[in-house]
Amino acid sequence: MSKALTADEAIVSCRNLWKVYGPDPHRYVSAHNAGVGALDGHTAAVRDLTFDVRPGEKLVVMGLSGSGKSTLIRCLTRLVEPTSGEVIIGGRDVTKMEPAELRGLRRDECSMVFQHFGLFGHRTVLQNAAYGLEIKGVSRKEREQRARDVLDTVGLSGWENRYPSELSGGMKQRVGLARALASDPQILFFDEPFSALDPLIRRDLQDELLRLAKDIKKTFIFITHDMAEALKLGDRIIIMKDGQIVQVGTPEEILLHPVDDYVRRFTADASRAHIVRVGTVASESKSISVETSAFDAVKVLDDSGNDSAIIVDSHGRPLGYINRSKLLSVGHNDPVGSLHVPVPIISSDRTLHDATNLVMDGNNPVAVIDSEGRLVGVVDTRLLLAALVDLPDHRKEFADLSR
């Protein structure tokens, strides 16, 4: 789980954020804090949220519709005025900003992309993309040049002089993205930007966004109600329900350790291949040093009840694979080093998807190594399949690889 950050480590941090709709929102919050029951006739769209966003991270907020995601993201730049709590962006408390300071923040540091694009139908694509710069007072020439550049980045060059009504949905959202990027903000907010698009177009834009995120070092706060999208895009995911956080974690943590049935219902159908890392599912394997003699190696196998093992060098790096029958067919004192067959190697932070080819290529297991190249475990076909379809307790059951 993510550890708490200090205020200056985080680029955005929310402290006890509330947004209550109704006749007397403040009384609702103080009643809640005092432990008196909830007031009637109010909707608490955001309830006492606290979380941090690290610089450069892609944070996805995910939840069913009505869970308060839109309200939350709008509270961050006060498009919706929070009822209480703090929002700290770049070290400054947004909730205490004067209007002019707030506008400065919106002009220079944050941008937002909207579900229904929020384009200005009376302006050309170019003028839409240049809008933020125009507001900042950048000269026409300069802002149009910059707008052309970002339009090019999102694949819209040649469309500058069209009007939004002439574009398809996917292209409209590219304009929305260009408009957000044009002012070169530190933080980008996305409120379900792809929800209104067709699945194929949606995937294109998700890939486009991932590509962009790799090129530019910006912080993304991304809202979605689609678990697959959250898993694909997020470095970290916040799962919301009724205005509260249910779980925070990396996609893998969420997938493998859902805290409750609400989260489990989302993860049940999620595809694990691209999320779960090999290191997480690899089973421990007996490792035998190259210098060991065949006789000693058989004894090691006997003791552990295994039929096979990985041979490692003095640093623990895997060299090859060996099994009992092979050991028994040679002289007692031959060192195992000369007996092993080569073993495929995969780094533990690669995904199951990456491991599939290696595992299917040969009959033998694949050795999983850590960042220093040391053996951490092995995966084989059965283990991989079990992990992909989420069989319970597969690790225990397949602890012995060669049974």
Partner 1 sequence: MAAVSSFRIMTTVTKIAPEQETPRAEMQEVETKKSRTRRELNHVVSGLKPPYSSRARRVALYLGLLVAVLSVSSVVGQQFPTSFRVPFGSATEAVFEWGVDHLAWLYEPVAESLEDVLVSMQFMLVDLPAPLLALLLIGIAYARCGPLIAGLLTVALGFVISVGLWDETLQTLVLMVVAVVIAVILGILIGVAAQMNRRFEAFVLIALDAMQTFPVFAYLVPIVFIFGPGNTGALIVTIIWALPPVTRMTILGIKTVPSESIEAATSCGSTGWQILRNVQIPLARPSIMAGVNQTVMFAMSMAIVAAMIGAGGLGQSVWGSLTRLAFGQALEAGIALVLFAIVLDRVTGQGKKSTGHGLFSDFRTLVTTTGAERPALVKRAFQQHRRTILTAAVLFAGTIYISMVPALRFANFETPPESLRLSFADPVDQAVDWLNLNLGFILDVVVDGIQGYVLNGVTALLLAIPWPTVFFVVVGASLLLRGIRGAALAAAGLLGIGVLGMWEAAAITLGIAGAAVLVALFIGLPIGAVMSRSIKLERTIRPVLDVMQTLPVFLFVIPIVVVLGTGAVAGLLATVLYCLPPVIRLTNVALRGVDSETVEAATSTGATVWQLLRTVKIPLGMPTIMIGINQAIILSLAMAVVSAFIGTPGLGQALLTGVVTARLDLGIEAGVAMFLLAVVVDRLVTGVNRKIQAHSHLVPA
Quote the least distance from Cβ 142 to Mg ion, whole Å.
Answer: 35
Residue placing its CB nearer to partner 1 in the complex, 50 or 157: 157
**Stretch of residues binding partner 1 (CB under 8 A), selected from 21-29, 154-162, 330-338, 341-349:** 154-162
Nearest to 220 by CA among 238, 243, 202: 238
Does position 116 interact with partner 1 (CB under 8 A)? The reply is: yes
Quote the least distance from Cβ 303 to ligand ADP, whole Å.
Answer: 56
Of Mg ion, ligand ADP, partner 1, none, which one does residue 105 interact with (CB within 5 to 8 Å by kind)? Answer: partner 1
Residue placing its CB nearer to partner 1 in the complex, 108 or 397: 108
Cα(337)–Cα(267) distance, integer angstroms: 44
Residue placing its CB nearer to partner 1 in the complex, 104 or 305: 104
Find tokens 């956080």 and name the residue: 245
Of partner 1, ligand ADP, Mg ion, none, which one does residue 85 interact with (CB within 5 to 8 Å by kind)? Answer: none
Cα(294)–Cα(126) distance, integer angstroms: 73
What share of residues in the chain are helix, strand, coil (percent, to 5)?
Answer: 40, 25, 40
Residue placing its CB nearer to ligand ADP in the complex, 202 or 225: 225
**Stretch of residues binding partner 1 (CB under 8 A), selected from 45-53, 132-140, 319-327, 348-356:** 132-140
Q: Give the contact letters, 371-390, x = binds to partner 1 (CB under 8 A), - = no.
A: --------------------
Quote the least distance from Cβ 44 to ligand ADP, whole Å.
Answer: 8
Which spans in 290-393 are helix H? 294-304, 324-328, 352-361, 381-388
**Beta partners for residue 5, in sequence order:** none
Of Mg ion, ligand ADP, partner 1, none, which one does residue 63 interact with (CB within 5 to 8 Å by kind)? Answer: ligand ADP
DSSP 96: G
Question: Do β-strands 345-347 and 366-369 pair in parallel, antiparallel, or remain unpaired?
Answer: parallel
Cα(401)–Cα(25) distance, integer angstroms: 60
Query: Which pairs count as long-range contacts for 347-350, CB under 8 Å and 24+ apart, including other chains?
Result: 347/278, 347/371, 348/277, 348/278, 348/279, 348/282, 348/376, 348/377, 349/277, 349/278, 349/279, 350/277, 350/278
- 161-190: contacts with partner 1 (CB under 8 A): 161, 163, 165-166, 176, 179, 183, 189
Residue placing its CB nearer to Mg ion in the complex, 240 or 339: 240
Q: With CB under 8 A as the rule, give the number of residues binding partner 1.
A: 39
Quote the least distance from Cβ 8 to ligand ADP, whole Å.
Answer: 29
Does position 108 interact with partner 1 (CB under 8 A)? The reply is: yes
Distance of alpha carbon 252 from the chain centroid: 9
Are the CB atoms for 388 and 272 separated by under 8 Å? yes
Quote the least distance from Cβ 135 to Mg ion, whole Å.
Answer: 25
Are the CB atoms for 40 and 214 separated by under 8 Å? no
**Burial class, 201, CB count within 10 angstroms (exposed 0-12 / middle 13-18 / buried 19+):** middle
Of partner 1, Mg ion, ligand ADP, none, which one does residue 179 interact with (CB within 5 to 8 Å by kind)? Answer: partner 1
Q: Does residue 393 sit in helix, strand or coil?
A: coil
- 58-97: contacts with partner 1 (CB under 8 A): 74, 77, 79
Quote the least distance from Cβ 104 to partner 1, whole Å.
Answer: 7
- 61-80: contacts with Mg ion (CB under 5 A): 70
Cα(260)–Cα(265) distance, integer angstroms: 9
A 10 A CB-CB count for 345 gives 16
Tokens of 362: 């040969």
Question: Binding residues for ligand ADP, per CB under 6 A?
Answer: 21, 43, 45, 63, 65-71
Are the CB atoms for 42 and 28 separated by under 8 Å? yes
Of partner 1, Mg ion, ligand ADP, none, which one does residue 45 interact with (CB within 5 to 8 Å by kind)? Answer: ligand ADP
Tokens of 128: 């839409």
Residue placing its CB nearer to partner 1 in the complex, 140 or 299: 140
Q: State the residue number with the nearest CB to Mg ion.
A: 70
Residues that bind Mg ion (CB under 5 A): 70
Question: Which spans of this chain sit near partner 1 (rule: CB under 8 A)?
Answer: 74, 77, 79, 103-108, 110-112, 114-124, 131-132, 135-136, 140, 144, 158, 160-161, 163, 165-166, 176, 179, 183, 189
